[in-house]
Every structure is written in C-alpha cells, then in structure tokens.
Copies of this chain bind each other. A is one copy, B any other.
C-alpha cells in the first residue's frame, strides 16, 4: 500500500478534484490522506517540503502533482 496525500483548501476547484479524481485512485494500492490546509497551519510547511506550489495537489510516493489551480499555499498562511 502506498501513501498519497491530497492537499486542498476547500475551494470549489479542490472539491471537484477530490470528488472526481482522488476517488478514482485504486483503493487496493493507495491510502489517501486528505489534508485541508486551511485548518492545521503546520501542514502547510509539510506541503511546501513536498514541493507543493498550489492546491489542489496530490503527492504520490513523495512527488507532487498539481491539478488545475485553486490557491497557492502562501495565500493560506
């Protein structure tokens, strides 16, 4: 089982991506943690360490993939 992290900010773009995209991942292989960056502020630093430049973003096996554009992590601080 691989870990995946979905970083979002509750924006409409984020919600659409979560509903259509994150749900499409193979549940047999990926355990997805959904992280709302608007709440625990310390997770923003974690997202930035992974190289997340905008949300929504999905980190799979340590690599960040940015999907469409909702907001930049710096805007959420």
**Which residues does A use to contact B, with CB under 8 Å?**
4, 16-17, 20-21, 24-30, 58, 60-61, 63, 65-68
Report B-chain residues with C-beta under 8 Å of the C-beta of A60: 20-21, 24
The 8 Å CB contact of A20, one of B24, B27, B65, is B65
Q: How many chain copies?
A: 2
Bound-complex Cα distance A33 to B20 (A): 17
Asked whether A27 and B24 contact (CB < 8 A) given A63-B16, A65-B67, the answer is no
Least Cβ–Cβ distance between A67 and chain B, in angstroms: 5
Of the residues B4, B21, B25, B61, contact of A65 by C-beta under 8 Å: B21
Instruction: Report if A66-B65 is in contact (Cβ < 8 Å); known contacts: A20-B60, A24-B4.
Output: no
